[in-house]
Amino acid sequence: MASTSGVDLLKKMDELYRSDTSVATMKMTIVTPDWQRTLEMDSWTRGMDDTFIRVLEPKKDRGVTTLKIDQQMWNYFPKINKVIKVPPSMMMGSWMGSDFTNDDLVRESSLVDDYHVDNEDLGDNILLTLTPKQETVTVWGKITILVKSDSLLPIKQTYFNEKGSKVRVMTFSDVREFSGKTIPATMTMEPLNKKGHKTIIQYEQAKFDVEIANSVFTQRNMKKRF
């Protein structure tokens, strides 16, 4: 695996769940010490720039949608029939009360564009260490990604604050094949400062490199009844 550079590996991480396009059905389970709730949702992505997410269940959240085009993001709430723009300052805010941020869900930016990367061969695994480029605006002082040497699939992604303390950990599991592409179907995000909290995203169906109409990535589609 010596021939695979850190930048190439990081590009693979960027594109793992996206490809040129993707259409997926996912389940998100939010766990706290006091309660647990599950969202069912569909997502569409095009490259690194465009994302559309629609919540299907539970009934009270049905029809909530998220749209991201280039660097802009909006949420639509059917109860108030309003599209609300998400300002850049809120990109690190929680998405739907989960431990995933708005940025995690829609990937406002590319890891390759925003971070310098060093890779260390650990035998069975490769450790990628990401440090922000000078012009990058981020709350993370460092991100590490542990990748399996043989499959080049991620095992664990750890986020550090600017003081170098671990803040949250995302683990990858349940490796499965969807339409010819092998990915970890389950991602679990745990904030280390909130005991007993975690959010699990499970891919139930996924198709990659399929035709997606331009009309999907529009504010009109956000309000569409289904």
Residue 108 is predicted with a pLDDT of 63
- Compute the distance between CA of residue 140 and CA of residue 133 in angstroms, rounded to an integer: 11
Q: Quick check: is 171 in a domain?
A: yes
Q: How does DSSP assign 93-148, residue by residue? A: SBSTTSSSBHHHHH--S-HHHHEEEEEEE-SSEEEEEEEE-TT---S-SEEEEEEE
Q: Quick check: is 80 in a domain?
A: no
* Count: domains in the chain: 1
> For the segment 115-155, what is each residue's pLDDT rounded down to a tens digit?
999 999 999 999 999 999 988 888 899 999 999 999 999 99
47: closest CA among 188, 203, 212, 219? 212
Q: Three-state SS for 82? A: strand
Q: What does the H/E/C string look like for 84-107? A: EEECHHHCCCECCCCCCEHHHHHC
pLDDT exceeds 60 at position 62 = yes
Q: Quick check: is 44 in a domain?
A: no
What would you measure as the largest C-alpha separation in the chain, in angstroms? 54
* Count of positions (residues) in the chain: 226
DSSP single-letter state for residue 222 = H
- Over pLDDT 90: what percentage of the chain? 76
Structure tokens at 196: 């007993």
> What does the mean pLDDT of the chain come to?
93
Q: Quick check: is 79 in a domain?
A: no
Burial level of 132, CB count in 10 A (0-12/13-18/19+)? Answer: middle
Q: Quick check: is 108 in a domain?
A: yes
Structure tokens at 222: 């956000």
The CATH number of the domain where 106 resides is what? 2.50.20.10
Residue 225 is predicted with a pLDDT of 83
> For the segment 21-59, what is each residue's pLDDT rounded down to a tens digit?
999 999 999 999 999 999 999 999 998 889 999 999 999
Matching residue, tokens 């009844």: 225
Q: Quick check: is 214 in a domain?
A: no
pLDDT exceeds 60 at position 3 = no
- Compute the distance between CA of residue 28 and CA of residue 8 in angstroms, rounded to an integer: 29
Q: Which domain holds residue 129?
A: 6-39+98-207
Q: Quick check: is 45 in a domain?
A: no
Of 5-14, 43-52, 62-71, 195-204, minimum mean pLDDT range = 5-14
Q: Which residues contact 79 (CB under 8 A, 6 or more apart)?
A: none
Q: Quick check: is 60 in a domain?
A: no
pLDDT exceeds 90 at position 105 = no
Q: Are 217 and 207 in contact (CB under 8 A)?
A: no
